[in-house]
Structure 1
């Protein structure tokens, strides 16, 4: 492999159709085998892992219903594979997507990909990381790591991809960014990182544009779907409600409400003495101010009803208490950065009311029977899986010195693509913590969905290099 002495940049990888010298049947077998390894929690459970919000995403097409609190993206994607037959098909699609992205990342970083190395990588991730619990979960969480891998391959590693692969990666990144609002700041951070790291190599505009294109496309997609479903071309027609929930829980918004009420005339003035309260309870508890008024009457779609007022309160809070808001966001982001685990995705919380009716109304009886027989809805999956949590934590800690070793190796080799990959993985982990914990709430699954890329990156960076 030639080295560009003038810039310290490793010579670009040559695009290789499929997997270069690896025969197509072997590529397919390796990707399929990797996917099979990454879904073992679902196999053990007897059904794909689900969350209470999975029911809402199913309802987006089974209803059909344009939910106030979720982009109309992941639900249609689920339907594109399940077709009211089985949820195992969307799970298979998720596993194949992640396995294929890891295959392409290996090819971009090593110059070619090897089936044995790919299966070894997937086996290691399946055994000691949270990756299989993200892959096996039917939630848009899967797209956080997929976006990072796709944007790296689209931008800094574009020369290792063929034209059709670039279109495929762009589609994956666009849909993934649009599937969850937290993915917008994540994608923005990754695009900025690609731009900044491209400056020394004269690739800033090229890499920045390639990584920003899916973000712009996702914004257009969100504007269009919200215009069609809610009558407003907005990224999140009712997103201010979530920000208000966070800011009142942290204190600044509650202080603004107490200071301005009752003169402000806000609906929440009647509840000033109850704030602050837990953000999750504020949003979803049946007796919260959002969902039950001062006279005790239930408020249907209370989160949507309060959104205009929430927008005004959030704006006032940021204007009057900018330092307190910034401090709270930073504190929550740092907590989220070190809070990654599988516990809150394995229970049966609210599944009986939020998910099972959707399966019963939209799928054959055999699918409902398979779901009922699984460990998760019977409440025994979490206890069976939690002994793995210390192993996941140990793998994350071990990955840090291994990442440093991989980065040092890439720096000595003048491998700018590998160094950019390392920087994007680290930036992605930080950006995800800010976008989720900082702006929403601190939950283990939020960081677990992307934290497994740290050991994955360490393994990829330390693999023996092969050049075409």
Structure 2
């Protein structure tokens, strides 16, 4: 019963909407199959994944996302010896009702795979000996795919593997070197997957572009670009010099709004100049960059609201669907998302405090375990998720700038860990009471 009910509840927002939820970035991924060239921050692997499900109006993708979520949640519970049926149902229901998880699973975006890949990597590295060979290979393929869908996800997983290699000599055999090697190889496989897809679709054996442009946007928002232009425009003939007093206040308005960026040729026209400014600014203003990085990381840690980029006018995505999938225009336009505002402020009155409280709880579990010098499987999971949250905040906050979307895609995992700790506490209490003599 749970195997049917839980996946349906995980995509309940999409079912209620009448069409999978769309986001501003969705169109850029979807267009990769049709346009045959690389664009910044849009994985061709995820584009192929969307293309695979498009003939079903993307309901195949919804099914994959729901079933993958159920699979990894139940597998995580299994390696923690939470084998009774009721915890899976209770934990799944709690996550569906109080976190962003069902909204992530119901959206045609890479975000659902970020949190799932952190859990998949943890199981593969720490508990590989407790799962079957088929499950190992499935987790390997899933983690590689997730890493290939977004550079930030790859960076977070890379950071976790790096932390694992640093910590393994001090963990008294709690992490097998073979498991850590397998986990690390998933990232190699993910990178190879992305390069292969890029070559197949564009003829270029190249990484997905856009790193400099995104970093430039964050530096513009922090005032570093303006300072660089003020310092160098008298000597350097840069395209942006005549417009340095007209730059938008935010990265989003510069990169995705109607700004001078469009006039100067967008990424094609400005990429080299943006790269120059980014590199030189790192060298010339290290203290300013460090201060901005710390502030951006701290801001990103507390930005965990559900629904960013979903409840707005997403003209680019609409245009891509109209151009390449005209048969889907009618159901897409009829969906609730395109006709009414979804009340995310009301939803976030619950989701945000739950997310922040869960993150604090997981950090507390990790800190308490270090204080007591306890190194069990829950400590390792809490450590993994704490490092993932910090790494995600650093990567996304520093490079892209703080956004609720980046925090929400991992915060639900903290809630999951807190629920595992709670269930284990009650299960052990019940077992202790049962074992008492009459």
In terms of mean alpha carbon deviation, does 425-434 or 395-404 score higher? 395-404
User: In the superposition, relative to structure 1, how do residues 270 and 405 fare at CA in structure 2: closer, same or farther (>3 Å)?
Assistant: closer
2:350 aligned residue? 391
1:380 aligned residue? 341
- TM-score of the pair, normalised by structure 1: 0.83
2:436 aligned residue? none
CA distances 1:216-242 after superposition (whole Å, capped 9, x unpaired): 222233344445556654434332111
What is the SS of the residue equivalent to 2:267? helix
Q: Is the 8 A contact 2:37 2:201 kept in 1?
A: no
1:425 aligned residue? 385
What is the SS of the residue equivalent to 2:207? coil
Q: Is the 8 A contact 2:36 2:202 kept in 1?
A: no
Q: Is the 8 A contact 2:305 2:405 kept in 1?
A: yes
Task: Confirm or deny that 1:89 pairs with 2:60.
Answer: yes
Q: Is the 8 A contact 1:342 1:389 kept in 2?
A: yes
The one of 47, 71, 78 equivalent to 1:100 is: 71
Gaps of 5+ in 1: 1-28, 294-298
Q: Is the 8 A contact 1:411 1:419 kept in 2?
A: no
What is the CA-CA distance between 1:337 and the residue it aligns to? 0.4
Q: Is the 8 A contact 2:147 2:153 kept in 1?
A: yes
Q: Is the 8 A contact 1:193 1:424 kept in 2?
A: no
CA distance in 2, matches of 1:254, 1:225: 37
Q: Is the 8 A contact 1:129 1:395 kept in 2?
A: yes
The one of 306, 329, 333 equivalent to 2:297 is: 333
CA distance in 2, matches of 1:234, 1:285: 27
CA distance in 2, matches of 1:181, 1:398: 28
- The correspondence of residues 115-134 of structure 1 with structure 2, limited to 5 A, is 115-134=85-104
2:124 aligned residue? 154
What is the CA-CA distance between 1:410 and the residue it aligns to? 11
Which 4+ runs in 1 deviate beyond 6 A?
409-413
CA distances 1:390-432 after superposition (whole Å, capped 9, x unpaired): 1112323443565478656899896632211111111111111
User: In the superposition, relative to structure 1, how do residues 271 and 119 fare at CA in structure 2: closer, same or farther (>3 Å)?
Assistant: same
1:192 aligned residue? 162
User: In the superposition, relative to structure 1, how do residues 460 and 174 fare at CA in structure 2: closer, same or farther (>3 Å)?
Assistant: same
User: In the superposition, relative to structure 1, how do residues 175 and 195 fare at CA in structure 2: closer, same or farther (>3 Å)?
Assistant: same
CA distance in 1, matches of 2:78, 2:30: 35
What is the SS of the residue equivalent to 2:338? coil
Q: Is the 8 A contact 2:65 2:112 kept in 1?
A: yes
User: In the superposition, relative to structure 1, how do residues 192 and 204 fare at CA in structure 2: closer, same or farther (>3 Å)?
Assistant: farther
Q: Is the 8 A contact 1:151 1:173 kept in 2?
A: yes
What is the SS of the residue equivalent to 1:376? helix
User: In the superposition, relative to structure 1, how do residues 345 and 122 fare at CA in structure 2: closer, same or farther (>3 Å)?
Assistant: farther
Q: Is the 8 A contact 1:174 1:215 kept in 2?
A: yes
The one of 203, 211, 214 equivalent to 1:242 is: 214
Task: Confirm or deny that 1:53 pairs with 2:25.
Answer: yes
What is the CA-CA distance between 1:196 and the residue it aligns to? 3.9
CA distances 1:34-64 after superposition (whole Å, capped 9, x unpaired): 2222112222222211112111211112445
Gaps of 5+ in 2: 432-438
How many residues align? The count is 424
Q: Is the 8 A contact 2:126 2:176 kept in 1?
A: no
What is the SS of the residue equivalent to 1:263? coil
User: In the superposition, relative to structure 1, how do residues 52 and 238 fare at CA in structure 2: closer, same or farther (>3 Å)?
Assistant: closer
What is the CA-CA distance between 1:450 and the residue it aligns to? 0.6
Q: Is the 8 A contact 1:54 1:139 kept in 2?
A: yes
What is the SS of the residue equivalent to 1:155? helix
What is the CA-CA distance between 1:139 and the residue it aligns to? 0.4
- The correspondence of residues 426-445 of structure 1 with structure 2, limited to 5 A, is 426-445=386-405
Q: Say what the alpha-carbon RMSD is for the aligned residues.
A: 2.7
CA distance in 2, matches of 1:334, 1:71: 27
1:370 aligned residue? 331
What is the CA-CA distance between 1:133 and the residue it aligns to? 1.3
Q: Is the 8 A contact 1:194 1:211 kept in 2?
A: no
What is the SS of the residue equivalent to 2:245? helix
Q: Is the 8 A contact 2:120 2:143 kept in 1?
A: yes
CA distances 1:158-198 after superposition (whole Å, capped 9, x unpaired): 11221111111111111111111111221122112333443
User: In the superposition, relative to structure 1, how do residues 411 and 332 fare at CA in structure 2: closer, same or farther (>3 Å)?
Assistant: closer
User: In the superposition, relative to structure 1, how do residues 149 and 247 fare at CA in structure 2: closer, same or farther (>3 Å)?
Assistant: same
Q: Is the 8 A contact 2:158 2:187 kept in 1?
A: yes
1:277 aligned residue? 249
CA distance in 1, matches of 2:251, 2:65: 30
CA distance in 2, matches of 1:328, 1:405: 27
Task: Confirm or deny that 1:319 pairs with 2:278.
Answer: no
In terms of mean alpha carbon deviation, does 323-332 or 355-364 score higher? 355-364
1:4 aligned residue? none
